[in-house]
Amino acid sequence: MAEVKVKKSLVYYLIFAAHVVFILSWLTSPFWLPWPLLLLLSVVLYLQSKYLNYCVMTRWQFGSADVSFWVYYLGKLGIKIKKHQVTDYTMKFFVISMVVAVVWQTLVW
């Protein structure tokens, strides 16, 4: 994949911050978000990935659907990963987060 040229403006950094908040919220969601809502959001994100083949926030941030947030920033750290691998890991996380959410919310809540 060719290097993406990014115009770093205030909007870029605001979207970056929103992206980070969304990702951190998603990673912790099994512990605070009721699992039916987590399931609904997982389905929405899955459908976005399957039918659009890109993340709406990423396209807004980078102006292109050819790059992924994870691919771009991990690449900056020297970690090479392909966009389809990110999608595979994301889908696996959806399943794992649902199991964790149901178990956690059944036992702890």
| Per-residue pLDDT tens digits of the chain, which is 109 residues long | 556 677 788 888 999 999 999 999 988 999 999 999 999 998 998 899 889 988 899 898 888 888 888 888 988 899 998 888 888 888 888 889 999 999 999 998 7
SS3 content of the chain, % helix, strand, coil (to 5): 75, 0, 25
Whether 2 is covered by a domain: the verdict is no
1 inside domain: no
Q: What is the DSSP letter of 5?
A: P
58 in any annotated domain: yes
Per the domain annotation, does 14 fall within a domain? yes
Domain count, the chain: 1
pTM of the complete model: 0.77
Residue 55 lies in a domain: yes
> Can you give the residue range of the structural domain that contains 56?
10-107
| CA separation for the pair 1, 94 (Å, rounded) | 26
Looking at the domain assignment, is residue 4 inside a domain?
no
